[in-house]
A and B are shown apart, each in its own frame.
Chain A
Amino acid sequence: MKKQIAVVEDEPALRENYAAALARHGYLVKTYGNRKTAMQAFQVRLPDLAIIDISLEDEAEGGFDLCRELRALSAELPIIFLTARDSELDAVSGLRLGADDFLTKDVSLPHLAARVAALFRRIDALRRPDNAAEIVRRGALSIDAEKMQTTWNGAAVTLSLTEFWIVHALARNPGHVKNRQQLMDAANVVLDDNTITSHIKRMRRKFQQVDAAFDAIQTVYGMGYRWVE
C-alpha cells in the first residue's frame, strides 16, 4: 500500500513541485494550502507523514500550531518542517514541538525524497524485530543505522534525523576530525556553520541528559569535530 504524505504549504507552485516529486517516488501525496483545511482532513484520516511549512498564509506560525494539534492526535506520526525560515530559534522550536526533522527549503528534491525514505525506514525498522546487521558500537554508544536509533549505555537518545546522521558520521571513524562541510554532507542538509555548531551543542545536551559525564564529541578549533572514545 502506498504511503500517504500530507504537504501543507501555502505557496501553490512549491506545493505542487513537492507533490510531483514525492508522487514520482511512489507516495500518495495530499496537499493543503492552510492550517484549517489540513486539520479538517487530518481529523478524518491521518497521513503517514506530514511535511509542514511554518508560515501558512496569514498565520506566521501556523505550522507550529498545526504540529501541536497533530501531535495531540497522534504521538507517533512523523513530522518534517520544511521552511524558508532558517533561524536557529525556529529550528529549536520545531524540534521541541516533536518534529522529527527540520529542513530548510534549500534542500533539493532528491534530498527531500531521501529524507522521507529514511524516515519511513526508521519507522518500519522500529516495527520489525531486531536484526543486528547495521549496528555501530563505539564504547557506550551504539548506533542502529537501520532503525536510526541511538543508545548510550543502553539508554535511548532521541535525535532528529539530521543529528542522527551527524553522530553517525562522527562515530564511524573515531578520532578523525570532520569539518562542518563533511558533517553537512553526511546529513544531506545545507546549513551554515552556526547551525552545525548549535546542532552539536544540542546533541551533547541530549547525551548529557542520559549521562552527565558525556564528553565524546570534541571540538577541534578551526577544523571541526571528532568522536573520542
Chain B
Amino acid sequence: MFCDSIVYGMLTRRSLLRTAAAAPLAASAADTGGRIKQSVCRWCYSKISLDDLCQAAQRIGLKGIDLVDHTDWPTVQKYGLVPSMTPGAGNIPDCWNRLDNHEKLVQQMQENIPRAAAAGVPNVITFSGNRKGMPDGEGLANCVTGLNRVKKLAEEKGVTINLELLNSKVNHKDYMADHTAWGVELMKRVDSPRVKLLYDIYHMQIMEGDIIRTIRDNFAYLGHFHTGGNPGRHELDDTQELNWRAIATAIADLGYQGYFAHEFIPISKEPLVSLEQAYKTCKV
C-alpha cells in the first residue's frame, strides 16, 4: 500500500499502474460511484462519531447511512448523505406475526412514515417477529393483516416499508421471516409497491444460499440489501465464502435503484479501511 511509494525505485510497472489507479480515489473529495448506491449501517461503527463516519462515507463514495434514528438525520443529511434505512415499527422478536402487537405497530408506522416522508427519507424497516411456536402460515396471515393497515399510508407518502429477512440458525434463533419464499409470499398477499423485503445477503447465505438466482427470481419484491461476510459477519474480503463483486454486478444488472448497505462488523484495526475495501469490491 503506502510503503509502495517509499520504495519507489522498486516499483514494477504493474504496481505503478495500481498506485496511479488508486490515487484519484484517495485524493478526491467524493467518488462518482458505480451503478449501485452503497450505504453503511451505523451500528457497525459505533466507536466512531456520526460526523466522522459521515465524512468517511462521503470520501469513500457511499451515498447513505442505514439504521439511523430521526434525531441523527440532520447530521447525515448535512453531508449530503441519505438516511437510507430508518426505524419503522417493532423489533426483531416482537412484530407483525402477532395480532396483539398490531395496534402499537400501526401507531409507530403512523408516526415514522410521515416523518420519513417529510425529511425525504425513502425507507423504514420492520420485522416478522419470532415464531414462539406459531406455525409459519398463521404468522404469514397475521403479517398480511397488519401490513395491510399501513400500506396505503406508505403509498401516499412514497416511503417503502422493508421487512427484513434474517437467519434463525446462528444470530436470531426462532425468527420467522428466515426464508425468501415466506417473505415473497407475504409480499404477494400484501401486494403493495411500498411493501418490500430487506434481503440481507449474509443472513440468506446462512439460511438458503443460491443468492444470485434468488435475487433475480424475486427482484420485484426486494427493496433493500445488506451485506456481511460469511461465516463470521466480518469484512467482505477473501477470507469468506461469497464473491461480493459478482453479487453486486447481478444486482446492478437488474437495474436496482435502492441502496446496498454494508452491515459487517469490521475486525481489522482500521474499520474505515475495511469499509472502503467493501465499497470498492461492490462498486460495479
Q: Do these two chains really belong together in a complex?
A: no
